[in-house]
Amino acid sequence: MAIGERQRIDKWLFFARVAKSRSLAAKLVLAGRIRVNREKVEQTSYPVKPGDVLTITLDRKVLVYRILSSGVRRGPATEARTLYEDLTPPAEQAPAASPAREPGAGRPTKKERRAIDRLNGDSG
């Protein structure tokens, strides 16, 4: 396939390694998780061309790719990365759930409790 030709979106997603199989790529399209140039795509045969911007909604992330060329085969990952430019904004880091406790603050450890018991003369 020459550069600049149109290609089915399900084939392109498979060749670019967005989906593990062509049928899974088709399911992504049919589920409405793919947008081409901000328009929802609902047909697996929708033609894409270089220059189109894809917005792909996966389970835990959103990918934004600009198509650079159409694929010929599903090759290695390094070959697949030449098919697109990644425009995905960097992910925001979530704040830490709980700050680290400073030494000496809070409840004593088991070792510290035993030392306190020895000082108090408790043997137990």
Total domains present in the chain: 1
Is the residue at 104 inside a domain? no
Is the residue at 11 inside a domain? yes
- Count CB neighbours of 39 within 10 A: 10
Q: What is the pLDDT of residue 124?
A: 60
Q: What is the pLDDT of residue 54?
A: 96
Torsional class of 71: left (φ above 0), alpha (ψ -120 to 50), beta (otherwise): beta
Is the residue at 113 inside a domain? no
Q: What is the pLDDT of residue 33?
A: 95
CATH of the domain at 17: 3.10.290.10
For 34, the domain range is 7-86
Q: What is the pLDDT of residue 120?
A: 86
Is the residue at 123 inside a domain? no
Is the residue at 111 inside a domain? no
- How many residues would you count in the chain? 124
Is the residue at 96 inside a domain? no
Q: What is the pLDDT along the chain (124 residues), one digit of tens a residue?
A: 555 589 999 999 999 999 999 999 999 999 999 999 999 999 999 999 999 999 999 988 899 999 999 999 999 999 999 999 999 988 776 666 656 667 667 888 899 889 888 888 876 6
CB 53 within 8 A of CB 62: no
